[in-house]
């Protein structure tokens, strides 16, 4: 397989429909072929079958020496079908007016194409320390691919020692971030007692109970907001505290029936140095307290708080060789944290320290007519090369 040009690689990646709910093994195999053509050793970690088959990719080059660099990004994208506002084909890289449009242009297929281009330009046979590429699946739905990949890295890399520094190219407009919050999500289900709506005192309206519970969560958020954490005021200036969100709610059967059930989902983004499960325990205690009643009954509802799904945050030690190299290359000297979650927390469980910096723009991520500037697309490989040469000592 002949390795494509940068623009062609980006176009072919965007043309691949890798929405998280679908398989992506074919696109990962395409990336594997390009990297093998560049001279890298490539292995795929596979799961699923047929059209739902997925894979993570691990590519490596260089000697079995400690140190080196990991370049990482995710191949999956958020859905575009039915998203209002698209005026261009989401699966076609469309240059127009100094920008390139298509789903994944900013978040974050262009960075993957830039990594492939940089690998093809590096003198891989003259590396003094390893270069490793990690491309993951299912980042957009909980960093699930990275959770699967992290514990398997020593085996997948074989004789190559795992580098401890990782550059994740999420969309930051080339800002350098050493931290981000985690994300914890869970469901809440309220079970009441049904009946005719003309006799509310005879039942327990689960929707009314849920409303009271949501008010408690709102009060909890107000309390957190009133106590901003000074240690994170510089990196999370808009919200230096844990933030809560109610994402979905459903309940009831008909307007003239007392609702027997109501369910809603809660997520929160804990500060990166806080135990992520702590607030879930507090919410569970708060919501499951006695007397979970509606306004028209003396009967209690039954409240269930589901288990937490946790994606860890990132709090990298400052001043790493990677952070310094990225700041020198981008000229970014500002302190800051990414407002989104990444694979970095999963990689940290394998002893990897990550820095977040990428060519895309956060205000374009997940948006209709997602785009990246032509300049950011074209200059990215040179920046990757400069950092890789410094950390891997390529002559």
Say whether 313 sits in a helix, a strand or coil.
coil
Name residue 19's beta-bridge partners: 77
Reading the block at residue 272, the tokens are 């990166």
Contacts of residue 361, Cβ cutoff 8 Å, sequence gap at least 6: 106, 171, 173, 372, 373, 376
Give CA separation, 311 vs 261, 267, 348, in Å: 29, 11, 11
Contacts of residue 297, Cβ cutoff 8 Å, sequence gap at least 6: 193, 200, 201, 202, 203, 204, 205
Q: Which of 107, 139, 329, 369 is catalytic?
A: 139
Q: Which of 76, 323, 329, 369 is catalytic?
A: 76
**∠297-298-301 over CA atoms, to 5°?**
80
- b vs e for 287-310, b when ≥16 Cβ sit within 10 Å of the residue's Cβ? beeeebbbeebeeebebebeebeb
Q: 141 with 273: CB under 8 angstroms?
A: no
Q: Active-site residue 139, yes or no? A: yes
d(Cα 387, Cα 180) in Å, to the nearest integer? 22
Q: 203 with 256: CB under 8 angstroms?
A: no
Give CA separation, 57 vs 116, 233, 311, 362, 368, in Å: 12, 37, 21, 25, 28
Give CA separation, 252 vs 28, 47, 207, 261, in Å: 44, 38, 7, 6
Catalytic residues: 76, 139
């Amino acid at each position: 397989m002949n390795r494509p040009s940068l623009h062609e690689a980006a176009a072919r990646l965007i043309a691949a429909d890798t929405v998280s709910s679908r398989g992506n093994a074919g696109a990962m195999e395409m990336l594997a072929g390009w990297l093998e053509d560049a001279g890298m050793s490539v292995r795929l970690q596979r799961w699923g079958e047929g059209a739902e088959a997925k894979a993570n990719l691990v590519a490596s080059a260089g000697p079995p020496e400690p140190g080196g660099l990991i370049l990482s990004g995710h191949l999956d994208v958020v859905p575009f079908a039915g998203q209002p506002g698209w005026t261009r084909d989401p699966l076609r890289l469309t240059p127009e007016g100094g920008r390139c449009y298509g789903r994944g242009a900013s978040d974050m297929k262009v960075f993957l194409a830039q990594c492939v281009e940089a690998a093809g330009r590096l003198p891989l046979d003259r590396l003094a320390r390893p270069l490793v590429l990690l491309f993951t699946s299912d980042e957009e739905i909980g960093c699930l691919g990275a959770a699967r990949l992290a514990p398997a890295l020593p085996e997948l890399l074989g004789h190559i020692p795992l580098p401890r520094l990782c550059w994740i190219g999420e969309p930051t407009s080339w800002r350098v971030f050493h931290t981000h919050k985690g994300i914890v999500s869970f469901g809440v289900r309220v079970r009441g007692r049904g009946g005719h709506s003309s006799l509310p005192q005879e039942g327990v309206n689960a929707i009314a109970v849920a409303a009271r519970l949501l008010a408690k969560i709102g009060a909890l958020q107000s309390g957190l907001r009133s106590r901003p954490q000074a240690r994170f005021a510089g990196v999370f200036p808009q919200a230096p505290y844990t933030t809560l969100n109610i994402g979905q709610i459903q309940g009831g059967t008909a307007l003239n029936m007392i609702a027997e059930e109501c369910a809603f989902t809660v997520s929160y983004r804990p500060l990166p140095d806080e135990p992520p499960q702590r607030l879930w325990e507090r919410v569970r205690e708060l919501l499951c307290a006695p007397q979970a009643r509606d306004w028209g009954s003396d009967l209690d509802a039954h409240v269930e708080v589901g288990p937490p799904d946790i994606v860890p945050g990132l709090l990298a030690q400052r001043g790493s060789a990677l952070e310094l190299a990225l700041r020198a290359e981008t000229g970014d000297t500002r302190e800051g944290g990414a407002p989104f979650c990444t694979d970095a927390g999963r990689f940290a469980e394998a002893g990897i320290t990550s820095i977040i910096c990428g060519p895309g723009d956060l205000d374009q991520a997940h948006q209709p007519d997602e785009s990246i500037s032509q300049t950011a697309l074209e200059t990215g490989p040179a920046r990757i090369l400069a950092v890789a040469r410094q950390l891997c000592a390529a002559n």
